[in-house]
Structure 1
Amino acid sequence: MIGIKFSPDRLIQSLIKGLPNPKWSKQHNMAYILNTKDNLGIIFITFKGVVWINYNRFLTNKPINTNNDEVDVEWFRKRKTVPDYRLCPEDYLLKLELKKYANSTVRTYVGFFEMFINHYKEKELNTINESDIRAFLQKLIHRKVSNSYLNQAINAIKFYYEVVLGMPNRFYEIERPRKESKLPIVISKEEILSIINNTNNIKHKCIVELLYGSGLRRSELLNLKLNDVDSKRMLLRVESSKGNKDRQTLLSKTSLSHLRLYFAEYRPQVYLFEGRNGKKYSGASVLKIVKIAAEKAKIRVRVTPHVLRHSFATHLLESGTDLRQIQVLLGHGSSKTTEIYTHVATNTFESIKNPLD
């Protein structure tokens, strides 16, 4: 059953009578109705704008991610800020810490939420309503920010009211921008080889080869450890990738031979690619390596690590690899995500005769 406990109030009592078959429990001193998904929705609609409803107990809790790097929120607490700058509430930081969000997510959420609360510096957080949030989002739209930027702002705000304060669906009807459908940027195999040949050293060469030859995301490449390379089975183990999922992907013979040369020269200790201090290599460095090599190779489009991943998937599809196998190699949760490559693969169009010809 769904128990409804409240302070005496005629309006609430009247609204409860309009719920499906409400009853009164003398034992628990509260009203109650049958616990169904539809009834939870009816309660939300009935009391929206009238009272706060806490029905977290009826919602499935997501498991805490235990595989992320140690969450670092201490620097947010100790940083120096300008006078009159409104800081992120301590309970917001604590919830991010307890849920073990990725450090990149923590920085994003704190940044956006502080931007939001400093926009309403004179208002108490619990007095901010949906109209205020829409006005803030409208300001961002007028700045012509991207849809991704806008969605991140919404997520950071929702996190405070819905996760920190436990007010489910607080901004249920806040409009999100329509999802963009952009085709991935893909370059040819010849251009890939030209980029690899224009890298500065064996370390940079291995980085580019793995991004393309194994279809890795930049973060996945940075998290690779020495024992993730399986030279006997010619596979690469990718742990705790996007969505906290493990997978295995291809390891090319070319990459393996170059990795052995790289290891003999650089002697990494823990991570496959390490910086000067022995810690994980930086994402900015990887981006710079790809960018400089692409410029030397005179590639006309802007090449990023993700362009290499897109090219890996598209070239596999063009060579006849099954879409389901590509989905597994990329670590996509849905086949719909992988299907985007059918829109750019050349073999999709080869069988179609051009009407001009």
Structure 2
Amino acid sequence: YDEENIKNFLLSLEGRNISAQTRNMFLNAIKFYYCGVLNIVSKIEIRCAKKNKSLPVILSREELKEIIGSITNQKHKLMIALAYGAGLRVSEVINLRVGDIDIRELTIHIKKSKGRKDRLSVFPERLIADIQKFLSGKESDDFIFINGHGGGLTARSAQKIFDHALAKSGIMKKATFHSLRHSFATHLLENGVDIRYVQELLGHNNIRTTQRYTQVTNPGLKKIKSPF
């Protein structure tokens, strides 16, 4: 057992641009081998690498109009618009049921989401007429967005719908379905909504998770021009 060799190995991985997550997997395997299999040492005092914290990909309002406008399927268009307009995760939007929408109060009841918690989010007023078409004739427990067989959509299907719309719009950002939620939070903060309300709408336990959006909404930074 040579701790210095282990550190050098991990540094070599970092030099090859191997992600922090993968490097930590290697380190945990090494720890298990030396401590659990060979029983040479009881503990290896090497800390795991910190995960890289990249800024979320944000779509501008104009880009969102382009993406949503590129969708011809009305069900798909509504799903993408609602995910952005309410800040929903892909798992939340595909699991929405008719009874979760309160058009009168303009709210969405998101049930047993991440962390098995319920929360309320806002329902976009401009989508009332569109959503009513999909709610008509359905029971309270029916999925709003269904596949060709009458069941709920899968997360993979929803992501493919977004990917297709993104490609069709010609926008080159490396956005994903989750970028809709990122954009929702960012645009609320840009509109002056208190960060604590944004935290509540997103269902974040820790406000630090919400605070990362302030890094991409800094109006002072955006006003600075390059001296070049």
Q: How many pairs align?
A: 211
Runs of 5+ unmatched residues, structure 1: 1-130, 159-169
1:347 aligned to 2:223?
Answer: no
Match of 2:81 in 1: 209
Match of 1:257 in 2: 129
Equivalent in 59, 63, 66 of residue 191 of structure 1: 63
Match of 2:174 in 1: 302
- For residues 137-189 of structure 1, give each alpha carbon's deviation from its aligned partner in whole angstroms, at most 9, with x where no partner exists: 96xx5896533456678899x9xxxxxxxxxxx97856322121211111110
Distance across 1 between alignment mates of 2:207 and 2:66? 31
Match of 1:147 in 2: 20
- Structure 2 vs 1, CA of residues 336 and 155 (structure 1 numbering), >3 Å: closer, same or farther? farther
The amino acid of 1:146's aligned partner reads S
Equivalent in 273, 294, 297 of residue 145 of structure 2: 273
- For residues 278-324 of structure 1, give each alpha carbon's deviation from its aligned partner in whole angstroms, at most 9, with x where no partner exists: 33211111111111111111111122111111111111111111111
The 5 A counterparts of 1:104-123 are none
The amino acid of 1:207's aligned partner reads M
The alignment yields a C-alpha RMSD, in angstroms, of: 3.4
Please tell me whether Structure 1 or Structure 2 has the larger radius of gyration of its CA atoms: 1
Q: Which has the higher contact order (CA 8 A, sep 6+)?
A: 2
Match of 1:233 in 2: 105
TM-score (norm. length: structure 2): 0.78
Match of 2:210 in 1: 338
Runs of 5+ unmatched residues, structure 2: 32-41
SS in 2 for 1:273: coil
- Structure 2 vs 1, CA of residues 154 and 230 (structure 1 numbering), >3 Å: closer, same or farther? farther
The 5 A counterparts of 1:54-65 are none
SS in 1 for 2:108: strand
When you count helix as a share of all residues, which structure comes out higher?
2
SS in 1 for 2:54: coil
- Structure 2 vs 1, CA of residues 278 and 186 (structure 1 numbering), >3 Å: closer, same or farther? same
- Structure 2 vs 1, CA of residues 150 and 239 (structure 1 numbering), >3 Å: closer, same or farther? farther
SS in 1 for 2:119: strand
Distance across 2 between alignment mates of 1:202 and 1:266? 17
The 5 A counterparts of 1:4-83 are none
Q: Residue 290 of structure 1 contacts residue 303 of structure 1 at CA under 8 Å; is this kept in 2?
A: no
> What percentage of aligned pairs have identical amino acids?
34
| Residue 270 of structure 1, CA deviation | 2.1
